[in-house]
Amino acid sequence: MKKSMFLVIILLFSFWTEPFSFVQKDLLLEKIVLHNDVRNFWGIKEAEVFYGDKKFYTKYEIINFKSIGVWSRYIEPEKFSGREVIRKGQKIYSKTKKDSEFIIEKGRYPSIYFTIRKENLRLLRENYNVIPHENTNIADRECSMFEVISNSCKKPEMKIWADVQTGQIIKYEKYFNDKKILSYWFSEIKINTEIDTTIFSLNIEDSSEEKQKDTKYYYSIEALEKEVEFPIIKSQKILFGYEFYQGHIILRKNRKIAHLIYTDALNNISVFIRKQNKKDLEKYEEEEIKIRTKRSRTVISKIENDIHISLLGELDKKDMMQIFFSMGNGIK
């Protein structure tokens, strides 16, 4: 009798505690996503990007105004000191200490911001475990700290410190194969503070040609297929929890390249498809597979039936190979 009563108590306790843990996780997930509403803030931000044994460090002042864009001015390293960068939508402008006016950047600055889009919250719940830790204080803000770990194959893992009051990410670290590959944090931050928006003023006019170049269109798989004259991958889902997110057309020397992006909520995998060119014929044998690993990324390429296909992502080589071969059946 005592034994059976003991089992009943354990069973009831498990029913009581398990839903509570799910509620806690969902609150944390919601908090991560809420900061994507992008609040106004001023801050001093520092970042480290790791390339093998090398480390690239930057420090800059940053102002974020949600209805306009992001302004930043480099403090370190010395060679970038005083350089200003303004992001407005998809356009990027920059000015050095020697420049009197901003110029339009032809390329793009890589973003190291950690973001989760609201529409990918379901994927986050399905593909990752969120492990909460004790609160801590960073830049005079009380922060909730938690780890985000994949529940399937080996993927980049993350440690996140979010402001308890607003949900703003104050510190972020990214790891792959137990090695830190990226870190950024605020040493100072003022959230929802008053901001002088004249700092975003630009004495520059875009020509119609520049406007056209900066316009980026997002396609579904069906719409992407109509824009190109070669077969593309039709898979909406691929291995390890990745789902099709959006497609782009890249124009390079009057040639179209189809770019398909798959996401698991936190990490993306890119697929590039185009017709082969003369250089490809010199580099590849028919159906030869080439694999390159650089930093934490793996690139797998192949030519088949005059079509060049490349897969790029931050996964182990063996997992990338599995995805690459599984996607072959999706090309028609």
116 with 222, same domain: the answer is no
The per-residue pLDDT string of the chain (332 residues; one tens digit each, 9 = 90 and over) reads: 444 444 333 333 333 333 434 455 566 567 666 555 557 899 999 999 988 788 999 999 999 988 788 999 999 999 999 999 998 877 889 998 888 788 887 655 545 566 777 788 888 889 998 888 889 999 999 998 889 999 888 888 999 998 888 888 899 999 988 889 999 999 999 998 898 889 888 866 554 344 434 445 778 999 999 999 999 888 899 999 999 999 999 888 788 999 999 999 889 999 999 998 777 777 777 668 899 987 778 999 988 888 889 999 988 889 999 999 887 644 54
Q: Which domain holds residue 267?
A: 217-330
The 3-class secondary structure across the chain, one letter per residue, is CHHHHHHHHHHHHHHHHHHHHHHHHHHHHHHHHHHHHCCCEEEEEEEEEEECCEEEEEEEEEEEECCCEEEEEEEECHHHCCCEEEEECCEEEEECCCCCCCEECCCCCCCCCCCCCHHHHHHHHHHEEEEECCCEEECCEEEEEEEEEECCCCCCEEEEEEECCCCCEEEEEEEECCEEEEEEEEEEEEECCCCCHHHHCCCCCCCHHHHHHHCCCCECHHHHHHHCCCCCECCCECHHHCEEEEEEEEEECCEEEEEEEEECCCCEEEEEEEECCHHHHHHCCCCCEEEEEECCEEEEEEEECCEEEEEEECCCHHHHHHHHHHHHHHEC
pLDDT for residue 189: 96
pLDDT for residue 138: 97
186 with 54, same domain: the answer is yes
248 with 325, same domain: the answer is yes
Domain end (from 200, 229, 252): 200
What's this model's pTM, rounded to 2 decimal places?
0.78
pLDDT for residue 112: 52
pLDDT for residue 213: 43
323 with 221, same domain: the answer is yes
170 with 303, same domain: the answer is no
Assign residue 86 the CATH number of its domain: 2.50.20.10
236 with 193, same domain: the answer is no
pLDDT for residue 165: 83
Q: How many domains does the chain have?
A: 2
Q: How far apart are CA 123 and CA 261, in angstroms?
A: 15
Domain end (from 200, 233, 259): 200
191 with 224, same domain: the answer is no
Residues contacting residue 39 through CB under 8 Å, at least 6 positions apart? 64, 66, 166, 168, 191, 192
45 assigned to some structural domain: yes
Asked if residues 260 and 232 have their Cβ atoms less than 8 Å apart, the reply is yes
273 with 185, same domain: the answer is no
Q: Which of 119, 120, 170, 116 is nearest to 141 (CA)?
A: 170
195 with 236, same domain: the answer is no
Cα 222 versus chain centre, distance: 24
Domain end (from 147, 173, 200): 200
Residues contacting residue 98 through CB under 8 Å, at least 6 positions apart? none
288 with 221, same domain: the answer is yes
Q: Which of 114, 118, 162 is nearest to 267 (CA)?
A: 114
101 with 245, same domain: the answer is no
9 assigned to some structural domain: no
Assign residue 299 the CATH number of its domain: 3.30.200.100
pLDDT for residue 100: 78
191 with 147, same domain: the answer is yes
